[in-house]
């Protein structure tokens, strides 16, 4: 047989191994399994997140008594060929297990229904995953997905149980456990969809005959999202840590501005400096950093970050550090590259700051709804735009539902919930999110802006190309007042200038 014939008969799925030759002789397998120090396993302390995660599981289980709830962590995702993106577990899985960073791809949390248990317990939570294999196994040296020589030492069932407070089991037992007492007339199953196709297939097989599975799964996703609307003490602490690291990242940016100005892709310098802080202090950035200089600031999701940073311009930086627990900050500051605002820049900046302050004041009022925070900011911006002669009528006409002309220069919302996702609780119902009253423990952003594109002929020439956003992270305290978690970063224009000058001198 020719070399061509052998290639044609080799399945495509096996050709990735053509680039390397892996030893497989019995002598090699015996040799590589020998000579290792014995394991001195000591169980880890329980994670500080564990009791909070247990309380969250109790709350979600109480909504679905008698049903089996399946929450996959997710799988590795291919970036290119056989190279994967860094793993991040699904947010609902992380929230209910307390696990973060890159813990356990392919793991699955299952809440199994139980009878009336102690103190009304409705479910037993079991975490299914693949524990580390022995050094005498082929997996140890040959499996690039799980092998210890490839990805590092994996935990044992006992270690994860000690860390999380969960009962643990081998992933190979999952299919049988899902099928137990399931099907038509039996235990009903719900699964978080779009996370792990293999787990979804196992659930589908197990619940043959179950009525309206799509609706059941949608209700679970909704409930898991709404569970995060009010943060517990652990979550608030993690958000404080994320914000503190983010504040340091912004200081790093100011110190790096001279280098950014001298680089042809200065926006990348800003992005890189902040990304280094995020990796050093946390897990990563919570989302792609926006480093938008000059007119790029008027592209709301500018993440290409390949532009120059020019003297005299503003640079809008929207960035957040995600800590190891996966909670992220989300902060925006608009900085004068030279350290001093020009008069037109200051005019726009002060209007945005006034809108942000109005939103903060509204958020602290009793009985305020989430949507009212946005309305307060829009009221200010509409009146400022009317004063500048930019609206085709009065501010009141623009603020009416049939008007909204001011939204040409501020098309996004003023606030969103923040937590383990940067846009947290996104699957919550409108009445639980937009139309809901603010409650203690809620954490959200306040981020008004004004964006005057360079090609917008409806604004005066001196304002064209200016984009300003000011974004802070806000906690509703137990007494109903609001706390600016990111207050350590200056907001007033004169304070921004003084802060920048101090960092450059230091």
CATH number, position 219 = 3.40.350.10
* Domain match, 183 and 263 both: no
* Domain match, 270 and 250 both: yes
* Domain match, 293 and 160 both: no
| Neighbour tally for 467: CB within 10 Å | 27
Q: What angle do CA 299, 302, 306 make, to 5 degrees?
A: 120
Tell me whether residue 37 is in a domain: no
Tell me whether residue 455 is in a domain: yes
Q: Of 273, 323, 313, 333, give the one whose Cα is nearest residue 469.
A: 333
* Domain match, 111 and 239 both: no
**How far out from the chain centre does Cα 407 lie?**
27
3-state secondary structure of 103: coil
- Of 169, 200, 226, the residue that ends a domain is 226
What residues contact residue 466 under an 8 Å CB cut-off, 6+ apart? 297, 314, 344, 345, 348, 450, 452
Which DSSP string corresponds to 274-285? HHHHHHHHSSEE
| Predicted pLDDT of residue 2 | 53
* Domain match, 211 and 110 both: yes
| Predicted pLDDT of residue 308 | 98
What residues contact residue 277 under an 8 Å CB cut-off, 6+ apart? 245, 248, 249, 252, 321
Residue 367 half-sphere exposure toward CB, CA atoms < 13 A: 0
DSSP label at residue 82: T
| CA dihedral angle for residue 397, residue 400, residue 405, residue 406, rounded to 10 degrees | 100
Determine the structural domain holding residue 168 and report its residue range: 44-226
**Run means of pLDDT, 10 residues per run, the chain, 506 residues:** 60 72 88 87 93 98 96 95 92 97 92 77 96 92 90 93 97 96 87 97 91 94 98 98 98 98 98 98 97 98 97 98 98 98 98 98 97 98 98 97 97 98 97 97 98 98 98 97 98 98 88
Tell me whether residue 412 is in a domain: yes
Tell me whether residue 441 is in a domain: yes
CATH number, position 487 = 3.90.230.10
What is the domain count for the chain? Answer: 2
Beta bridge partners of 336: 314
Tell me whether residue 16 is in a domain: no
């Amino acid at each position: 047989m020719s070399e061509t014939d052998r290639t044609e008969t080799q399945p495509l799925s096996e050709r990735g191994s053509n680039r390397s030759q892996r030893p497989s002789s019995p002598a090699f397998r015996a040799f590589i399994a020998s000579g290792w120090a014995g394991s001195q396993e000591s169980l880890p302390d329980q994670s500080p997140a564990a009791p909070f995660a247990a309380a969250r599981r109790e709350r979600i289980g109480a909504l679905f008594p008698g049903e089996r709830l399946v929450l996959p962590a997710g799988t590795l995702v291919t970036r290119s060929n056989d190279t994967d993106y860094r793993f991040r577990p699904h947010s609902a899985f992380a929230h209910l297990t307390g696990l973060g960073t890159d813990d356990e791809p392919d793991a699955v949390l299952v809440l199994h229904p139980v009878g009336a248990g102690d103190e009304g317990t409705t479910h037993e939570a079991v975490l299914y995953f693949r524990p580390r294999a022995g050094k005498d196994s082929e997996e140890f040296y040959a499996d690039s997905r799980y092998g210890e020589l490839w990805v590092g030492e994996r935990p044992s069932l006992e270690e994860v149980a000690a860390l999380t407070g969960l009962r643990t089991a081998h992933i190979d037992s999952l299919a049988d456990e899902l099928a137990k007492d399931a099907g038509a007339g039996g235990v009903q199953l719900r699964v978080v969809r779009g996370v792990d196709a293999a787990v979804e297939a196992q659930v589908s097989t197990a619940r043959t005959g179950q009525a309206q599975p799509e609706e059941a799964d949608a209700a679970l996703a909704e409930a898991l999202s709404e569970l995060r609307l009010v943060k517990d003490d652990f979550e608030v602490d993690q958000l404080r840590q994320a914000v503190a690291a983010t504040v340091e990242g912004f200081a790093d940016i100011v110190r790096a501005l001279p280098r950014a100005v001298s680089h042809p892709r200065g926006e990348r310098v800003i992005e890189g400096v902040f990304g280094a802080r995020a990796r050093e202090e946390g897990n990563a950035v919570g989302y792609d950093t926006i480093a938008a200089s000059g007119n790029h600031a008027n592209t709301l999701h500018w993440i290409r970050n390949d532009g120059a940073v020019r003297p005299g311009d503003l640079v809008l930086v929207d960035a957040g550090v995600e800590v190891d627990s996966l909670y992220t900050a989300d902060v925006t500051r608009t900085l004068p590259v030279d350290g001093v605002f020009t008069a037109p820049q200051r005019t726009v900046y002060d209007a945005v700051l006034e809108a942000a302050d109005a939103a903060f004041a509204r958020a602290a009022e009793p009985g305020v709804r989430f949507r009212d925070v946005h309305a307060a900011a829009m009221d200010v911006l509409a009146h400022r735009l009317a004063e500048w002669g930019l609206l085709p009528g009065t501010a009141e006409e623009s603020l009416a539902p049939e008007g909204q002309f001011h939204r040409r220069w501020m098309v996004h919302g003023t606030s969103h919930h923040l937590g383990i996702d940067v846009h947290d609780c996104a699957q919550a119902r409108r009445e639980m999110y937009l139309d809901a009253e603010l409650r203690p423990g809620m954490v959200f952003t306040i981020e008004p802006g004004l964006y005057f594109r360079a090609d917008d002929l409806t604004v005066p020439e001196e304002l064209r190309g200016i984009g300003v956003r000011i974004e802070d992270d806000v906690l509703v305290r137990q007494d109903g007042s609001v706390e600016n978690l990111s207050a350590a970063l200056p907001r007033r224009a004169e304070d921004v200038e003084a802060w920048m000058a101090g960092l450059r001198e230091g």
